[in-house]
Amino acid sequence: MTFKELNLAPALLRAVEEQGYEIPTPIQQQAIPSALEGRDVMGRAPTGTGKTAAFMLPTMQRLQGRDGGVRALVLCPTRELAMQVAEAGRDYAKYSELWVGVVYGGVSLDRETRDLRAGFDIMVATPGRLIDHIERGNVDLSNLEVLVLDEADRMLDMGFRPQIDQILRNVPKKRQTLFFSATMPNSVKSLAYDILNDPVTVEAAPQVTTAEGVAQFVYPVDARKKTDLLLHLLKDPELSSSIVFVRTKFSADRVAGQLSRAGIKVEALHGDRNMVQRGRALESFRSGEVQVLVATDVAQRGLDVDGISHVINFDAPSDPEGYVHRVGRTARAGETGVAITFMAGGEVGDVAAIEHLLGRRIPRVNVEGFSFFVEEPVVEGAPPAPPVKRETKSEAKKAQRLTRGRRMGTRTGELSAEELEAILQVS
């Protein structure tokens, strides 16, 4: 399917072509036709799937050639995402007479107020800052036609539900709502249920997946040698543009400091850095001036930087889904990339949880002098190991029952004759 077949306006087709997009991504193919019909959409799509164009293009098509103040609002969880979405929006609107504006916390309210008065057709905003503007009477959403929630799960994780509810009270009930979330826990479903009207459901990919082009490896490492291993790996010129994820702000600054002292061009990105510092860090990483970005999970989702060669999990993510988001920073839209996860003794369980979620084992790479133990199978160099078949639910249950039976040394009453025999054989 081509973009033309999606029946987009020539001005939008031209902009998309200029972006170098040839075919619509699966989420675009699914979402755009329904959104163009005016239907509500509930999309399960992580960043990197082309979801921004999936909601921006039909929204722009709908708004073309008509005035009337802010007619589309895109809510985003973070400033970084808001900036990116607005930037993408401006690219897509290049040949349409539509103004895309963005408001987010951390910058001068006055300047934003001036911009707002100048008038936007499409407004991209973080919830807290938007409420500031609503309360100051700087923005009128009464003509809103399209409401987009981007990364709804992340907004809820960040505690924005009350703000979202407040914003909903300021927008017309009769509107189109496009709702995107990488994951669909109950809190997200309940929000979707509350705000969507008979939505079409679209899905970018199965719930848990990591980009196909990403080669993934786990490096067992002595916890005290993580920085040394990182420095060792960074000697490789292939690691031209890497994001290093750490668990805390403190580690982000510490690791960035250590790399910097070793002569590596590095920036840290975390929640304690102010807007200007974050913007500068991202910009110098984007431009290639800085080789390494050390980030906490603030930067985990929504960070759209082209050409990231490596994602390095210096610390394993605290939840397995976080792994999928982090790894999604590389190999965007069909490129290739590498994801490396350091595994110290205390992180074996975290890695096991990730592998369980992915349904396969990630190959290990032992680098001599750094590993805390040598684990089989050892992969020298890179070729990924064949995927390991995931236990089916019934197999897993059976194994569980067997161990339980074994541990207790008794039969549990639920065991079949065959299972009982197995237990008798081992005990």
Binding-site ranges for ligand AMP (CB under 6 A): 19, 21, 24-25, 28, 47-53, 304, 306, 332-333
Rounded CA separation 2/25 (Å): 10
* Minimum distance of ligand AMP from residue 23's CB (angstroms): 6
Q: How many CA atoms lie within 13 A of 86 on its CB side?
A: 22
Q: Helix, strand, coil % (nearest 5) of the chain?
A: 45, 15, 40
* Minimum distance of ligand AMP from residue 344's CB (angstroms): 32
Rank residues 53 and 188 by Cβ distance to ligand AMP and give the closer one: 53
Rounded CA separation 160/212 (Å): 32
Distances (CA, A) of 244 to 33, 45, 290, 312, 317: 38, 24, 13, 5, 11
Strand, coil or helix: what is 421?
helix
Number of Cβ within a 10 Å radius of residue 283: 12
* Minimum distance of ligand AMP from residue 176's CB (angstroms): 19
Rank residues 25 and 371 by Cβ distance to ligand AMP and give the closer one: 25
Rank residues 123 and 331 by Cβ distance to ligand AMP and give the closer one: 331
* Minimum distance of ligand AMP from residue 48's CB (angstroms): 5
* Minimum distance of ligand AMP from residue 413's CB (angstroms): 51
Taking each helix axis as running N to C, give the angle between helix 320-327 and helix 348-358, from 0 to 180 degrees, rounded to the nearest 10.
Answer: 70
* Minimum distance of ligand AMP from residue 108's CB (angstroms): 27
Name, in order, each residue with C-beta under 8 angstroms of 259's C-beta and a sequence gap of 6 or more. 227, 230, 231, 234, 266, 292, 294
Q: In what order do the strands lie in the sheet with 310-313?
A: 214-220, 337-343, 310-313, 242-245, 292-295, 266-269
Rank residues 306 and 376 by Cβ distance to ligand AMP and give the closer one: 306
* Minimum distance of ligand AMP from residue 341's CB (angstroms): 23
Of 41, 40, 8, the C-alpha closest to 202 is: 41
Quickly tell me which residue has 């889904």 as its tokens. Answer: 321
Rank residues 74 and 233 by Cβ distance to ligand AMP and give the closer one: 74
Rank residues 89 and 220 by Cβ distance to ligand AMP and give the closer one: 89
Quickly tell me which residue has 């503007």 as its tokens. Answer: 133
Give the pair of three-digit tokens for residue 402.
Answer: 């067997």
Rank residues 82 and 131 by Cβ distance to ligand AMP and give the closer one: 82
* Minimum distance of ligand AMP from residue 301's CB (angstroms): 10
Rank residues 54 and 103 by Cβ distance to ligand AMP and give the closer one: 54
Rank residues 49 and 78 by Cβ distance to ligand AMP and give the closer one: 49
Rounded CA separation 176/192 (Å): 13
* Minimum distance of ligand AMP from residue 42's CB (angstroms): 16
Give the pair of three-digit tokens for residue 83.
Answer: 């900036």
